[in-house]
Structure 1
Amino acid sequence: MIEMVARIDDIPPSERFAAWRALCDRTTIPMELRSTHEDDFRATMWGIHLGQVSVSGTSVPSLWNHRTPAHIRRSDPETYHLQLHLRGETDVRHAGTTTTLGARQFMLSSTSRPYEAVIGRGRTDTMTVAVPPSLVPFPAADLDRLLGRRLSGRTGIGALLADVLVRLGAEHAAYRPADAPRLGTVVVDLLTALLAHELDGDAETGGGGGTGAGGAGARMAPESHRRALLLRIQDFVQRNLHIPDLTPASIAAAHHISVRYLHRLFERQGHTVAAWIRAQRLERCRRDLADPAQSGIPIHAIAARWGFAHAADFSRAFRGAYGVPPRDFRLAALSQPAHTEK
């Protein structure tokens, strides 16, 4: 499942750093690089695609990297990166926050914001999850509060996610290409759970702005309740996408709220309830259609599995969301060459 491995050990020492810079410059997130080991730079990089999610890892000696507004204008995939430090320490400045990251600590960053990192205390190993905003069910304004902050990967949900990522990188040969979208779902679910946990904790404490009577903590409490309710509703919907008559009325009744209030919760996220449900169903269908293990299942059966009662309605919705009919998408997805396990 490893799609890319880059090593520069077989290049003459004096040329290794230039080769590394050229390699990084070809990525979708270019940045300026410097190192005190430029005369003999030893580093590795690898990457895996898990559907819409990618996971990568690097091992580098001392390194200074800086992503400036000019780099962002040149190329910006507009994704969130959740970086996990495994070894060493890095000083990072991002989104107005300065952080020192140590072993088993996470940091969320945005490719659309300037970034500066200094690795100066020995070799550092990191892993990075790149995820598009469409898969992260939180408003950008909420996620902005987490950018550049240190998040724990040593306890709780963070430890679960860190364990999954470490094993994913170490045991890639045990997985088949068909496992990729399923593993992507696991990673996104744990990443979402970690961010939800941090946002709820941030709301309860007022985001560090004080929790006294009438202070930020008191003002944030209603928002915390709304967010927790929305997450419960979204989880409920995800578990019941197979029910064709899943409607705003049935969802509201299951959570003892009015349909009007349900619509208000989703409007705050920039969605209608029906549109969000349809998008989740289409994404499940897209993953199944791209899964070689399900290539023998008729398209209409996959659509029905995820709540689309009428094949014609599904075909129109799928084409509207992804630009191609479901049959053409499946043919293209299944014609991709499988990656040889190593």
Structure 2
Amino acid sequence: MKPGEQPPDRGFARLLLGFDETRRRFTETTVPLICTSTEQQTFRTAVSGAMIGGIVFNAIGGSRHTVEQPEQHGGSETGANAMIHIQLSGESALTQDGRSAVVRAGDITAYSAARPFRLDHGGESLIVRIPHHALPVPASIVDEVVAVRFARERPLVGIVHPLAAQLGRTVHRLQGGAGRRLAESAVGMLGAVVVETLQDRGDRTRESQLDAVVEYIELNLARPGLTVAEIASANFMSVRTLHALFEEHDSTVAAWVRTRRLERSRRDLADSAFAGLRIGEIALRWGFRDAAHFSRVFADRFGASPRAFRASAAGAAVSSGSPGA
């Protein structure tokens, strides 16, 4: 795929796979994975899934199997993604970065396919692959909770399970602008779950502060006049403290605001519901006063101009909606 080209939204309905086909599919992922099972002769796994707006949903259920990634792949494309595992039924176990988590129906955990991990999969699950640029929290926060059980007893985790169960049954039907908005909402909710779990793990005052700051930024992205001083003041801290919060996660306040504005603009450019808006109007919706500046930073971020990206997204939507696609 060319830089900046929008991956076409696509889905596939429920497939029933034997062991050899399941193992082959794992070895053909961006980071090759090793799949084993003690039930190879009777092995059956049902899978369905969708890619929408660069976010991948896979519903998996059936025979118990183990998926391993034994090597470091820091430079891979998959390394720029967070993997969120939602256990719908049964039990699975995840090991990564020296930690282990056993998850049962209603629990959630996270991992990275770019670093060694082992997933002993049982029952049914929904696995969501989220590009780091689409996460509503810094990627380094997710790294702090890999192979940690997000307990189903927690308020936000408890909300996610029934929604994920329904999504697991209908994931292959996600499409168009409505599907993109649903996918974005799911990512936002999973980001909140990550923060909730992190705050529950000991003294997490700094993460609580960062969560409040990120929420304030999200609510005010559309205002061109949003400043670092305002963000600090609204969250009862000094500008120096605010900068230090983001430096701990290898970012800056300005870079985070710009990234979130670009991601929102990118979403709207790909959404047919906003086809009637000019590119400059979409830029202004997310705080970019200067259309030329917006075009430059958008191209720097996504490898294509806003106009080329919008055309690519429109073409991908037509292809995914055509018969036999």
Distance between the aligned counterparts of 1:60 and 1:22, measured in 2? 17
Distance between the aligned counterparts of 1:111 and 1:252, measured in 2? 35
Tell me: CA distance 1:26–1:259, structure 2 relative to 1, closer, same or farther (3 Å): same
1:158 is aligned to 2:140: no
1:331 is aligned to 2:296: no
**1:314 alignment partner, SS class:** helix
Kept in 2, the 8 Å contact 1:160–1:190? The answer is no
Counterpart of 2:212 in structure 1: which amino acid? R
Counterpart of 1:298 in structure 2: which amino acid? R
Q: Percent identity?
A: 28
Tell me: CA distance 1:163–1:322, structure 2 relative to 1, closer, same or farther (3 Å): same
Tell me: CA distance 1:91–1:287, structure 2 relative to 1, closer, same or farther (3 Å): closer
1:3 pairs, out of 8, 11, 22, with 11
**1:152 alignment partner, SS class:** coil
Residue 313 of structure 1, CA deviation: 1.5
Size of the aligned set, in residue pairs, is 312
Comparing 293-302 with 282-291, which one deviates more in the overlay? 293-302
Residue 335 of structure 1, CA deviation: 0.8
Distance between the aligned counterparts of 2:107 and 2:215, measured in 1? 27
Deviations 1:70-92 (A, max 9, x none): 7x589661122111112222333
**1:126 alignment partner, SS class:** strand
Match of 1:56 in 2: 58
1:225 is aligned to 2:205: yes
Match of 1:219 in 2: none
Residue 21 of structure 1, CA deviation: 1.4
Normalising by structure 1, what TM-score?
Answer: 0.82
Counterpart of 1:338 in structure 2: which amino acid? S
Match of 2:176 in 1: 177
1:16-55 to 2 correspondences below 5 Å: 16-55=18-57
Kept in 2, the 8 Å contact 1:2–1:172? The answer is no
Match of 1:211 in 2: none
Residue 258 of structure 1, CA deviation: 2.5
1:74-93 to 2 correspondences below 5 Å: 77-78=78-79, 79-93=81-95
Counterpart of 1:253 in structure 2: which amino acid? S
Tell me: CA distance 1:174–1:56, structure 2 relative to 1, closer, same or farther (3 Å): closer
Distance between the aligned counterparts of 1:152 and 1:280, measured in 2? 29
Deviations 1:99-129 (A, max 9, x none): 332211112111122222335xxx6111111
**RMSD between superposed Cα atoms in Å:** 2.6
Residue 175 of structure 1, CA deviation: 5.0
| Higher Cα Rg, which structure | 1
Tell me: CA distance 1:276–1:93, structure 2 relative to 1, closer, same or farther (3 Å): closer
Tell me: CA distance 1:159–1:240, structure 2 relative to 1, closer, same or farther (3 Å): same
Tell me: CA distance 1:265–1:341, structure 2 relative to 1, closer, same or farther (3 Å): farther
Tell me: CA distance 1:266–1:144, structure 2 relative to 1, closer, same or farther (3 Å): closer
Tell me: CA distance 1:49–1:174, structure 2 relative to 1, closer, same or farther (3 Å): closer
Kept in 1, the 8 Å contact 2:89–2:125? The answer is yes
**1:200 alignment partner, SS class:** helix
Residue 139 of structure 1, CA deviation: 5.7
Match of 2:260 in 1: 280
Residue 157 of structure 1, CA deviation: 0.6
Kept in 1, the 8 Å contact 2:11–2:171? The answer is no
1:306 is aligned to 2:286: yes
Counterpart of 2:223 in structure 1: which amino acid? I
Comparing 46-55 with 77-86, which one deviates more in the overlay? 46-55
